[in-house]
Amino acid sequence: MSSATLSPAAARSDTPIPLRAHLRHTGALIRRNLLWIRQDPESMFDAILFPVVFTLLFVYVFGGSIGQSLGGGQDQYVQYVVPGLMAMMGMNMAQGVGTGFNQDFNSGVMDRFRSLPIGRGSVLFAKIAVELMRMLFATVVLMVVALLVGYDINSWSGLLASVGLSAVFGSALMWVFLTLGVVMKSAQSVQAMGFLVLMPLQFGSSIFAPTASMPGWLQSFTDYNPLSALADTARGLMQGGPVAHDLWVTLIWSVGLTAVMAPVAIHKFRTKS
């Protein structure tokens, strides 16, 4: 029976959908989202420009002074900041998925999806899958720019592990922003909330500079900041050094956020009127 012959009540029923059907629905929605990007290439501007702008900005504006505090110069700072910027990729892409999700609601696209006999979680999983692809593309751009400004890749396996860990943490954050995309009234509200949450996490961490010179109260915050753990893990994997503690902290945050926010996001999506 085609979806066109289903009544709204039937389409919105809670009839269990087999796992195989969920996967098929998710694949179809991933293809739909990729086709949308193909029709609107401007939607990739953030994935292209963000790594370029941030890398050049921090390397050439702050690299000399912070590099001296690291015992070197600009070259030393490049080795420090690039793994940190990689840790930011998933976080910034996560904000974008919440904004886009909210725009789909306001344009009526989500009402159409929710009228179809498809798994409700499939819509959200497809969004996350496509956003992870955008994150990987942004990471490739970041590494190209990093190599041009002098970054040395000491461990290719460590680089791949860092990318995978950033994707895991980024996907966990996406559930938070998908929830915001459902409950907030406008895309501007999602962006504003994301700014208020992400800016303290970004700059109150070890992404851009070592935390040793920060005030004691701020160091206490950075100790529990998952972005510090993610950035320090990436540095350890890519440059060499201990990673066990920070790796476990990052994984615990990722699993915790996903376990709490994924059910909330799916529930809010199902019940949004």
139-198 pLDDT tens trace = 999 999 999 999 998 889 999 999 999 999 999 999 999 898 888 888 888 888 888 888
Tokens representing 136 are 């990987």
Amino acid 14: pLDDT: 52
Residue of 200, 164, 21, 178 lying closest to 87 (CA atoms):
164
Q: Residue 29 belongs to what H/E stretch?
A: helix 19-39
**Who contacts 187 (Cβ-Cβ below 8 Å, separation ≥6)?**
99, 100, 102, 103, 106
Express as a percent the part of the chain with pLDDT over 90.
Answer: 32
Which tens digits make up the pLDDT trace of 70-110?
877 888 899 999 999 988 887 777 877 888 778 877 777 77
Amino acid 44: pLDDT: 84
Whether 235 shows a pLDDT value over 70: the answer reads: yes
Residue of 176, 186, 201, 194 lying closest to 262 (CA atoms):
176
Higher pLDDT, 227 or 96: 227
Q: Assign 104 to helix, strand or coil.
A: helix
Amino acid 16: pLDDT: 66
Average pLDDT over residues 40-51: 84
DSSP 115: T
**Who contacts 256 (Cβ-Cβ below 8 Å, separation ≥6)?**
172
DSSP 267: H
Please tell me the chain's helix, strand, coil percentages from 3-state DSSP, rounded to the nearest 5: 80, 0, 20
DSSP 152: -
The Cα-based distances of 110 to 123, 159, 272 in angstroms read 9, 37, 10
Q: Is 12 exposed, middle or buried (0-12, 13-18, 19+ CB in 10 A)?
A: middle
Tokens representing 178 are 């998908």
CA distance 136 to 141: 9
Whether 225 shows a pLDDT value over 50: the answer reads: yes
Whether 261 shows a pLDDT value over 80: the answer reads: yes
- Which single residue is written with the structure tokens 């690299």? 63
Least confident residue range of 2-11, 57-66, 175-184, 198-207: 2-11
Q: Is 33 exposed, middle or buried (0-12, 13-18, 19+ CB in 10 A)?
A: buried
Average pLDDT over residues 253-266: 93
Whether 41 shows a pLDDT value over 50: the answer reads: yes
Amino acid 13: pLDDT: 43
Q: What mean pLDDT value characterizes the chain? A: 84
Amino acid 4: pLDDT: 40
Amino acid 9: pLDDT: 39
Cβ atoms within 10 Å of 34's Cβ, excluding its own: 14
DSSP 224: T
CA distance 56 to 248: 31
Tokens representing 264 are 């909330």
Residue of 160, 151, 141, 149 lying closest to 234 (CA atoms):
160
CA distance 166 to 159: 11
Amino acid 22: pLDDT: 73
Amino acid 219: pLDDT: 87
User: In this structure, are residues 257 and 176 in contact, taking their beta carbons and an 8 Å threshold?
Assistant: yes
